[in-house]
Amino acid sequence: MTISLSLFSYNSSEVVVIGPEFHEKEFFEEELVNLSKELDIRIQYKEVQDPETYIINNPNSKISIAIIPNPQGVTNLANRGSIYSLDNLVIDDTSIRELYPSHLKDIVSYNNNIYSGWLRLFPNSLIWFDISKLNEYPDVDFTTFESLINSTKNLADKNISPWCANSESGASTGWIQTNWMEDLLLTTQGPEVYDEWSRLEIAAANVKIYSVLNDLGSFIFYPSMIENGHREIFNIEFRNLPRVLLNNNNDCFLSWSGHYFRYYIPEEYKYEKDFGVIKLPSVTYENSLVGIGDSLVLVENNEVSIKTMQSLLSKNFGEVWAQKNDSEFISANKNFDRAFIENSLTSYQFDITHDALKKDMFRYDASEIMARPIGANLLWKMLIDYIKQGPESLERLLNELDKEI
C-alpha cells in the first residue's frame, strides 16, 4: 500500500529516531542536541539492533524516524505500509527528487514513490597503501586498473607479494569478495549491467559476469601476488588487515578494501605520513564508485517528524560532525559545503563520492540490494568456493548459483 505524505496529521513535541549502533554515533547524537535547540523539538536517539525488524514488531511504538542501513529494508517496510512516502518532501527549497541521482532514488522507491532520503554515504572502491613500502617500488603504476595489476605482477614475479587480502569474517566471510566483484563489474561493464546484476535480471553465468570474475581470478590466483598466497585469504580476520599492511615484516603494501579499513588502523599510524588511499583506478567507466550508506525513513506522519526529517537531510546537517578531527561524515546532500570537513582523508573520500554522484556513477553495494538469501549467503559461498577451488571451478560454480537463484 502506498501512503501519501500529510504534513499536519498529528502533533507532538518529541521525535524519536531509532537506528543501529554505529561508528561516530556520539557525533550524530551531538548534532541531534543542536537540532533540538534549533527546532525547539525534543529529539532523542534510541539504539536498536535491527531497525527494520523493530519497526515491524512494534507497530504501535512512538517511532518518528529510523536509520535503515540498506535499501532492501526500505522497500520491505514500504511494501508493508510501515513507512510514509517522501515524494512531496522539500529539502532546502529542493524537491527530494532533485536532490539525489537516479540510482539512489530508484533503490529506495516502491511503486514509483520514494520512501527514503540519504543521510550519509561511504565509498568502497579504494586501494589503501603503506607509504614507506610503496616508495621502495616506484614502478607501481596507479594510472589504470590494468597498469596497477600488471606492475604488481612484476613484483610477484620477483617473489615480492604486494597485496594484503585477509578477509575472514566469521559467518559473513565472503562479503569482501563481493565488493571486489562489484568494483570490477561497475568499472568494466558499466552502470546498466551493474543494475541488472543487482536486480538479478542477468544470469550469474552470463559472459559479462563470468569475465569480471575471471579477471578477478587473474589477480587472486597469480603466484606470489597475495601475502602468503590466496589460500590464506580466509585465515586472518579482516579487522587485522591494517596491521598486516603496516607491519614492516610483511612484503605486502596494498589492500583493496572499502571505507571500513580506516576503523582498524592503529592510532599511531597517520594518514599521508604512514598510509594513503586512492580510488580504485578505472577500466572503462570513469568516476565509477561502489559504496554503501545510511538512509532515513519516516515512521510517524506529523509536523515535528517531518520538520526533523527535513533538517536531517538538509545541506547544513553534519556541519559540526564534519569538523571533528577524526570525522568520516560524508553528506549525501549535493549542496553540502565540503569546507566544513577538517579531516583530509574524509575530504578525499567526499570528493570521489560526490564526483561519482554528479555523474550518476555511484552504485550501492549490489549484494545488499539483492534478496538476503542470495546476496548475503549464496553469493558469499560461491566466491569462497571459487577462491578455494581455483580458476577451473568458475563456470561450474556460476551455473550452480543460477540454479539456486
- In this prediction, residue 3 carries a pLDDT of 42
Q: Give the model confidence (pLDDT) of 182-211 as tens digits.
A: 999 999 999 999 999 999 999 999 999 999
Report the distance separating Cα 298 and Cα 308, nearest Å.
Answer: 10
The reply to whether domains 14-123+291-364 and 126-287+371-404 share a CATH topology is: yes
Mean pLDDT of 107-129: 98
Class at the top of the CATH hierarchy for domain 14-123+291-364: alpha beta
Mean pLDDT of 223-248: 95
**Are 233 and 165 spatial neighbours (Cβ–Cβ below 8 Å)?**
yes
- In this prediction, residue 210 carries a pLDDT of 98
Q: Quick one: which of 312, 308, 309, 364 has its CA closest to 75?
A: 364
- In this structure, the dihedral spanned by the alpha carbons of residues 56, 62, 65 and 69, taken in order and rounded to 10 degrees, is -40
Neighbours of 4 (CB within 10 A): 10
Q: Quick one: which of 368, 400, 366, 382 has its CA closest to 183?
A: 366
Q: Give the model confidence (pLDDT) of 316-335 as tens digits.
A: 999 999 999 999 999 999 99
- In this prediction, residue 13 carries a pLDDT of 82
Q: Give the model confidence (pLDDT) of 72-91 as tens digits.
A: 999 999 999 999 999 999 99
**Are 92 and 315 spatial neighbours (Cβ–Cβ below 8 Å)?**
yes
Kindly list the domain boundaries of the chain, sorted by start residue.
14-123+291-364, 126-287+371-404
**What is the pLDDT confidence band of residue 10, given thresholds at 50, 70 and 90?**
very low
Mean pLDDT of 251-262: 97
Q: Quick one: which of 342, 350, 385 has its CA closest to 279?
A: 350
Mean pLDDT of 226-247: 94
Report the distance separating Cα 367 and Cα 380, nearest Å.
Answer: 9
Half-sphere exposure of 364 (CA within 13 A, CB side): 28
pTM of the complete model = 0.94
Backbone torsion region of residue 112, taken as left when φ is above 0, otherwise alpha when ψ lies between -120 and 50, otherwise beta: left
User: Which CATH number among 3.40.190.10, 3.40.50.300, 2.40.37.20, 3.30.930.10 corresponds to the domain 126-287+371-404?
Assistant: 3.40.190.10
Q: Give the model confidence (pLDDT) of 120-172 as tens digits.
A: 999 999 999 999 999 999 999 999 999 999 999 999 999 999 999 999 999 99
- In this prediction, residue 60 carries a pLDDT of 86
- In this prediction, residue 12 carries a pLDDT of 52
Mean pLDDT of 294-317: 97
Helices assigned H by DSSP within 58-144:
71-80, 102-106, 131-134
**Mean pLDDT for all residues in the chain:** 95
Report the distance separating Cα 225 and Cα 239, nearest Å.
Answer: 21
Q: Give the model confidence (pLDDT) of 382-391 as tens digits.
A: 999 999 999 9
Quickly tell me which residue has 590466483 as its cell.
221
Q: Give the model confidence (pLDDT) of 20-46 as tens digits.
A: 999 999 999 999 999 999 999 999 999
